[in-house]
Structure 1
Amino acid sequence: MTLMYIPLFKTLEFIFKNEIICRHVQSSTFSDIYSDFCDGAYFKSNPLFSSFKHALQIQVYYDDFETANPLGSKQGVHKLGCLYFTLRNLPPHLNSSLMNIHLISLFHSQDARKYGLDKILSPFVEDVKKLEMCGMKVSFSEEPLYGTVSQITGDNLGLNGILGFVESFSAHYYCRLCITDKATAQTVFSEHDPRVVLRSKELNEQHYKNLEDSGESSCYGIKHNSILNELKYFNIADNVVVDVMHDILEGVAQYELKLLFEYLAKDLISSENILLRIYAYSYGYLDRKNRPTKINMQCNGLGLNASQTMCLLRNIPLIFGDVVPEDDNHWNLLLLLLDIVNIIFSPNITEGMIVYLRYLITEHHK
C-alpha cells in the first residue's frame, strides 16, 4: 500500500507563521448562543478543551474523488481518498476559505478497501497522540499548545467506514448515532423516544468485545474498533456528526419537491407551466448563479446540486403560492420542511430553537 502523508506538526508550524491565525487561536470566544463548535455541550465537557481553552480543535474531513471520467471505463480505478483538516479555533468565515483547509493524506480508494482505513489513519493518530500528551511549542505562548481531534466529518458512507460501522444503509442497524433497527426507525422521530438507545463509549466497548468473542462480521452495526479510539481525548461515540448536504439538500428536499410538483401537475397546474415558472422566476442577484437550470423529473430527485436545491426551496412559496389553496396538506408538508431547513442552516441558534426544531421534525415525519 502506498499513501502520501503530510506530517501534522509540520503543517501546524507552517500555519502558526501567520500572525492573524495566531491571534484568532489566542482569542477564542464562547457564547450562550450556539454559533460554533465551542458553544456546545461536548466541547465544554471534554477534559482537554475545558482545561486548556486555547487547545487546538482539529476537525478531520474524509472523502473520495474521481481523477478520471466518472462515466468512463476507468471509473473507480484511479479513485483517490483524501483526508483534510481544519482548525475549529478559527471563526467560520476563515474556515470556509480554501487556504485554511489542510491536506493530511492522499491514498488510492482501492487500498482503503483492501487494507482498511485504520492503516491509513495510523501516522496521523500517532501525531495527535503526541499533541495530546506533549503539545507543541509556539511563538505566542510560553506554555506548550495541546490539541486533539474535535470532529470527524464527511459523507455518510465515508463516516461509517472511517468510524468502523457497516457501510450499508440497508443494514438492520445502519445508524451510527443510535441502536434502532431499520423497521423501528420508520416510526421513531426523536431521540427522546423511549425506544431509542443512543450509542455510548461503554456500549460500543461491549459490542467490540462481542465481535471478538463471536467472530461475527458485525454487531449492532459495528464492524470493528476504530484506531481513533486510541486517542485520549476523542472517542467515536462522541462524534455526533451528520451529513446535512446529502441528507437534506440532495436527499429529502429534492424528494419532497418532486412529490409536490407531481401533485401540482395532477390537480392544479400543468407540468410545462411548473417548469416555466421555475425557469422564468427572478431569483435576484445573490441567487442567480444557483438558480435551477435543468430539472429532471425522471430521476429519483430532481437532478440538482445542493446550492440549486437550497435556492429553489427558499423561493418555492413565492413561485407557486398563488396556485395552491389554503390549508393544503401537501403544501403544508413542504412549508414544515422549509421551517426545518431554515433552523438547520441558521448561523446562530438558541436552546429554544433546538426544542422547536425537535417538534417540527416530529410533526413533519408523522
Structure 2
Amino acid sequence: TWQRSKVDQIQLVCLIYERDVKQYGFSEILKPFLNDVKKLENGVDINLGQEIIHLKGSIIAVLADNLGSHEIGANNTNMFDKYEKRTKASYCRDVNETINKKQACRGVKANSYLNSLQHYHICDSGLPPCIAHDWLEGVLQSDLSLAL
C-alpha cells in the first residue's frame, strides 16, 4: 500500500476527444484497455532469467474531473451529488430498474463497463471526487470569502 502515495505509480491510460466519446462511447474506446486489465487480473507470467514470476494487478481508482467521472461511471451528467451513500446492492438495483424501465433511475444510466473487472467497482471508492473542482473551486472559495 505504500506505493499508492507515490506519484510515479500513477499512469495515464489515454486522452480521448469528446466527439469520439459521443460517437463511440467510453465502453468501445476503453475496450482494448479493459481486456488487458482483465488479463492482468488473471495474472501474467514474467520470465526473469531462471525464475518465472506470476504477477496480478488491477485498477484501484479512476481519476477524472466531475463531468468525466459521471460519464465513466454511467451516471447522469447533470446530477449534482453522485456521492450519495450507495452500496453495490443498491447500485445493482438501480441498474436493473434502469434496464427494465429503459430510463435512468436515481442517477444511474447503465452499469459502468468498469464494473466488469474482477477487483474494481465504482461503489468501492473507485471514482473519487475531483478535489480541484470540489475544494479549490467550490468549498474553499466560498468559505474563504465568508471568512474574510
TM-score of the two chains, using structure 1 as the length reference? 0.37
- 1:118 aligns to 2:27 (yes or no): yes
CA distance in structure 1 between the partners assigned to 2:75 and 2:63 by the alignment: 14
The answer for unaligned runs of 5 or more in structure 2 is none
The amino acid of 1:158's aligned partner reads: G
- 1:245 aligns to 2:132 (yes or no): yes
Runs of 4+ in 1 over 4 A off after TM superposition: none
CA distance in structure 2 between the partners assigned to 1:135 and 1:247 by the alignment: 38
1:14-35 CA-to-partner distances (Å, cap 9, x unmatched) read xxxxxxxxxxxxxxxxxxxxxx
* Counterpart in the other structure of 1:219: 105
The answer for unaligned runs of 5 or more in structure 1 is 1-37, 39-88, 179-197, 262-366
* Counterpart in the other structure of 2:3: 90
CA distance in structure 1 between the partners assigned to 2:61 and 2:110 by the alignment: 19
Identity across the alignment (%): 30
CA distance in structure 2 between the partners assigned to 1:91 and 1:162 by the alignment: 22
Change (3 A) 1:91 1:115: closer
Change (3 A) 1:242 1:106: closer
The amino acid of 1:239's aligned partner reads: S
CA distance in structure 2 between the partners assigned to 1:213 and 1:166 by the alignment: 17
CA distance in structure 2 between the partners assigned to 1:234 and 1:138 by the alignment: 27
Contact 1:135/1:147 (<8 A) preserved = no
CA distance in structure 2 between the partners assigned to 1:157 and 1:129 by the alignment: 26
Say which of 50, 59, 75 aligns to 1:165. Answer: 75
CA distance in structure 1 between the partners assigned to 2:82 and 2:45 by the alignment: 33
The amino acid of 1:248's aligned partner reads: W
The amino acid of 2:3's aligned partner reads: L
Aligned-residue RMSD, C-alpha: 2.2
Say which of 121, 142, 154 aligns to 2:52. Answer: 142
- 1:177 aligns to 2:83 (yes or no): yes
CA distance in structure 2 between the partners assigned to 1:213 and 1:121 by the alignment: 26
- 1:152 aligns to 2:62 (yes or no): yes
Cα deviation, residue 256, structure 1: 2.1
Contact 2:45/2:52 (<8 A) preserved = no
Contact 2:99/2:110 (<8 A) preserved = no
Change (3 A) 1:107 1:248: closer
Cα deviation, residue 138, structure 1: 5.4
Say which of 106, 114, 118 aligns to 1:228. Answer: 114
Give the match's secondary structure for 1:223: coil
Cα deviation, residue 145, structure 1: 0.6
**Which structure would you say has the larger Rg?**
1
Contact 1:136/1:146 (<8 A) preserved = no
CA distance in structure 2 between the partners assigned to 1:227 and 1:91 by the alignment: 24
* Counterpart in the other structure of 2:17: 108
CA distance in structure 2 between the partners assigned to 1:249 and 1:106 by the alignment: 24
Give the match's secondary structure for 2:37: helix
Cα deviation, residue 104, structure 1: 2.0
Contact 2:38/2:117 (<8 A) preserved = yes
Change (3 A) 1:254 1:138: farther
Write 1 or 2 for the structure with the bigger share of strand. 1
Give the match's secondary structure for 2:3: coil
Higher RCO structure (Cα 8 Å, ≥6 apart): 2
Number of residue-to-residue matches in the alignment: 146
TM-score of the two chains, using structure 2 as the length reference? 0.85
Cα deviation, residue 235, structure 1: 1.2
